[in-house]
Amino acid sequence: MDGRPVVESSRRFLARATLLSAALSMAGALLGLGRDQTLAHLFGAGADTDAFLVAWTVPEMASTLLIEDGMAFVLVPAFSVALARRARGVGGPDPVHALVAATLPRLCLALAGTAAVLAAGAPLLVCVLAPGLPDPALAVSCTRLTATCVLSFGLAGYCGAALRAHGSYLAPGAIYIAYNAAIITTMFALTEHWGVRSAALGVALGGFLMATLLAPPLWRRITGRQHGRSVGAGVYDGGGGRLPAPPAGVLAAGQPGLSVDTATHDGNSDRRPRPGAELPDAGQPRPPANAATHDGNSDRRPRPGAQLPTTGQPHPPATATTHHERNGPPPAPAAQLPPPERRLALGLVCAVLLFALCRQSQVLIERYFASGLPAGAISHLNYAQKIAQLPMSLALMVCVVTFPVVARAIAEGDTRRARDRVERDLVLTACLVLFGAAVVVACAPQIVQLLFQRGAFTAQDTATTAAVMRVYAAGLLGHTLVGALVMSYFSAARTTWYPLGAMVVGAFTTVALSAWAVQPWGARGIAAANAAGITVTALLLLHGLGPRTVPVRVRRVVAALARPVCAAGCATGAGLAGAGLFTSPALSVAVGCACVAAVFLLLALVLDAAGARSLLAPVTHSVHRSVHRPVTRKLRHGR
C-alpha cells in the first residue's frame, strides 16, 4: 500500500499543529511580557520586586517540573503506549482508563501534600533561596500564596500531556494566555491594597484557571464515544488521523512478548488480514489451513473453505499454534506487574523529575548569588532572562508538537522515523533560536527601553538589564539544544540517568563560575556563568546520544548546526550596525531586525541551513511559473 498520502497528511498535520502552538505560545509570551511590564511599571526594580521574584521561584520550578519538562517526558510516552494498546485491541480494561485511574488520584494527593509543606516551610525556603534578602517577611507571604501552584500546575501538566498524546494542541497551548491574564488583572485590581502580594495572588488564581481550562477537553477525550469506539482509540499517526495497527512483529513499547499479527482490529472484535501485510518468514510456525481464527471474544469462526470438525473430532492438531503460543501471554495489568517493572517505572519518574529539577536549579543559583548584590539585581536578571528566552520558547514549540510523534514512533519500533524527526528538529530549532539571539544582541538596549522604561523602571535599570540580556543570549543555543535533546532520551520511556549526570556537571560549572565572577562583574558575571553551564550540558547530551536513545547521527547534526551559527554571527554584526543609526528605540529595533533578517536568510540560503533551499524551492517554482505563463501561453485567435 502506498504510504505517501499518509506521510503528506502527517506533514500537513505537524505543520498546522506547530503553527497553532507557535501562535498560542506567542500570545502567551506577549501576555508574559505584559505581566513583566506591569510589574516593572508598578514596582520598578527594587526590594519589593526582589521579594516577589524569590516567591516566583516556586511557580518557575513547578512549571518546569509539572508542565513543560518533567510531567510531559513521563506522561506523553505513557499515554502514547496506552493509545497504541487500545488500538490493537488488547484484552482487559481500557488501557487509557486504567492509566488515568492508576496515576491521577495518587498524583493529586502527592501534589496537595507538597503544596502544604511548601506553604508551612516558607520562612525556611526563603532563607535558603535568598539569604541576603533585605525584607524576608514579604517574600514569605508571597511564597505561601504561590505554593498553591504546585497542585494547580500539576493538574494542568497532567491534562496537557494527555491531550498532546491524543493529538490535541489547542487547549494545552492556551493555558499561559489564561495564566498571565489572571496575574495582570489581579495586579491592576489589588495593587493599592495588597502591594506586590497582588502578583502572588494572581499566580495562585492563574494556576487554577489553567487546570480548569484543560480538564473538560481531557474528560471528553477519555469518556466520549463515537459509534461504539472511544475517542482517540485509533493509533495516532501524527497526521491528525488514525491508522491501522503497526506492521507485523512490531512490539508494543514496554510489552515484551506482545506482537501484532498480520490481522488488524476493526473495533468490532473481528480480525481480517491487512492489505499488504507481510507473511511469516520461512521456518516460523503457521496455523494450518483448517485452523479457525480467533475473533478476540473467545469464539471461533471458520475461515472460508476450511474443513469443519465433525462431532467428536478433536480440535485442530497440535501443530497449529495458538495465539498465546505465538505471541506469549497477555500483558499483566499495572497492579500485577512484577517488582522489577515497578522499579523501572519509579526509576523513570525519578530520572525525569531530578533532571528537570537540576535544570531549573540554574535559576536558584542565580538568585542565591544575586541576593548579595545591591537591591534590584535579582529583578535585572529576571527581566533580562524573560526577554532573552522568548526565542528559545518559540523554537521549542517545534519539539513540543513533534515529541508525541517521536514517542509513538519509538513505541511502534520505527526508530528510523524517530531519528529523522529528531535530527530535523534539532537543526530547525537551532536556526530559529539563533535568529532570535542575533536580534537580542543587536537591539538589546532599544528592546528593554521600548518594553520596560516607564513608571518606576529607570534608564539605569534599562542599561543594566540590556547588558545582562546580551550575555544571556550567548547561552540561548545551549538552552534550546538541552530542551530538544532531552526529549530524545526520554521518548523511549526507558530509565536513563545520563541526562541528569550531564545536567549536574553543567550546574556545578555554573556554581563555580558564578562564585568566581559575581564580585568583579556582578549580574553580568552570573549570566555568563549560566550560559557557560548550560552549554556544557548541551555538549554532553549531544555527545551521549547512542543506541539506547534515538540513534541520532551526531557528526551530521554538528555539521548542520555550524551553518546557522555562522549565519547568526554575521547577522548580529549587521543588526548592530543598523540599530545604531537611529535614536528612536522603535525605529532602531525595526531597522535592526530587518538587517538581521536579511543577512541571516541570505546566508541560510547560501549555506543551505536547515534545508532552506528545499523549503524555498516550491515558492521559487510557483513564482517562475506565474512570471513565464503569460509569455509562453498560446493565444487564441477568433475566426
What is the three-state SS of 391-446?
A: HHHHHCHHHHHHHHHHHHHHHCCCHHHHHHHHHHHHHHHHHHHHHHHHHHHHHHHH
The Cα–Cα gap between 589 and 619 comes to 29
Measure the CA angle with vertex 289, ends 286 and 292; round to 5°: 90
The Cα–Cα gap between 95 and 35 comes to 41
Which band of pLDDT confidence, cut at 50, 70 and 90, is reported for residue 111? very high
Which of 18-27, 193-202, 291-300, 452-461 has the largest mean confidence? 193-202
Angle between helices 377-388 and 339-370 (to 10 degrees): 120
Whether residue 264 is predicted with pLDDT greater than 70 in this model: the reply is no
The Cα–Cα gap between 374 and 367 comes to 12
Which band of pLDDT confidence, cut at 50, 70 and 90, is reported for residue 245? very low
Count of positions (residues) in the chain: 639
The Cα–Cα gap between 136 and 392 comes to 32
Which of 9-13, 118-122, 315-319 has the largest mean confidence? 118-122
Per-residue confidence (pLDDT) for residue 121, from 0 to 100: 94
Going by their DSSP bridges, the two strands 300-301 and 235-236 should be labelled as unpaired
Per-residue confidence (pLDDT) for residue 28, from 0 to 100: 85
Which of 24-38, 460-474, 489-503, 536-550 has the largest mean confidence? 460-474
Q: Which residue has the cell 482490529?
A: 265
Whether residue 507 is predicted with pLDDT greater than 70 in this model: the reply is yes
- Under DSSP, the state recorded for 259 is B
- Of 164-178, 357-371, 413-427, 621-635, give the lowest mean pLDDT range: 621-635
Residue 301 CA: distances (Å) to CA of 51, 294, 374:
73, 7, 82
Per-residue confidence (pLDDT) for residue 261, from 0 to 100: 36
Which band of pLDDT confidence, cut at 50, 70 and 90, is reported for residue 134? confident
Residue 228: strand, helix, or coil: coil
Q: Which residues on neighbouring strands pair with residue 293, listed in sequence order?
A: 301
Which band of pLDDT confidence, cut at 50, 70 and 90, is reported for residue 332? very low
The Cα–Cα gap between 376 and 46 comes to 4
- Under DSSP, the state recorded for 46 is S
- Of 142-146, 239-243, 399-403, 558-562, give the lowest mean pLDDT range: 239-243
Per-residue confidence (pLDDT) for residue 571, from 0 to 100: 94
Mean pLDDT along residues 484-508? 84
Which band of pLDDT confidence, cut at 50, 70 and 90, is reported for residue 29? confident
Mean pLDDT along residues 34-55? 88
Q: What is the dihedral of CA 595, 598, 599, 604, to 10 degrees?
A: 150
Whether residue 337 is predicted with pLDDT greater than 80 in this model: the reply is no
Which band of pLDDT confidence, cut at 50, 70 and 90, is reported for residue 27? confident
Whole-model pTM: value is 0.63
514 or 255, higher pLDDT: 514
The dihedral of CA 552, 556, 558, 562: what is its sign?
A: negative
Q: Could you count the other beta carbons within 10 Å of the beta carbon of residue 439?
A: 26
Per-residue confidence (pLDDT) for residue 265, from 0 to 100: 39
* Phi and psi, residue 225, nearest 5°: -130, 140
Mean pLDDT score of the chain, rounded to an integer? Answer: 76
Per-residue confidence (pLDDT) for residue 304, from 0 to 100: 47
Per-residue confidence (pLDDT) for residue 8, from 0 to 100: 60
Q: Could you count the other beta carbons within 10 Å of the beta carbon of residue 585?
A: 19
C-alpha cell at 194: 495588597
Whether residue 246 is predicted with pLDDT greater than 50 in this model: the reply is no
Residue 103 CA: distances (Å) to CA of 78, 83, 349:
11, 16, 12
- Of 40-44, 193-197, 281-285, 431-435, give the lowest mean pLDDT range: 281-285
Per-residue confidence (pLDDT) for residue 5, from 0 to 100: 57
Mean pLDDT along residues 335-354? 57
Q: Which residue has the cell 480538564?
A: 215
Which band of pLDDT confidence, cut at 50, 70 and 90, is reported for residue 172? confident
* Burial class of residue 256 (count of CB atoms within 10 Å of its CB; 0-12, 13-18, 19+): exposed
Residue 486: strand, helix, or coil: helix
97 or 401, higher pLDDT: 97
Per-residue confidence (pLDDT) for residue 414, from 0 to 100: 77
Angle between helices 377-388 and 459-473 (to 10 degrees): 50
Residue 21: strand, helix, or coil: helix
Per-residue confidence (pLDDT) for residue 625, from 0 to 100: 61
The Cα–Cα gap between 231 and 163 comes to 12
- Of 85-99, 476-490, 622-636, give the lowest mean pLDDT range: 622-636
Whether residue 96 is predicted with pLDDT greater than 80 in this model: the reply is yes
pLDDT over 90, % of the chain: 33
The Cα–Cα gap between 97 and 99 comes to 5
Q: Which residue has the cell 489581579?
A: 186
Whether residue 470 is predicted with pLDDT greater than 90 in this model: the reply is yes
- Decide: 320 and 287 in contact? Cβ < 8 Å: yes
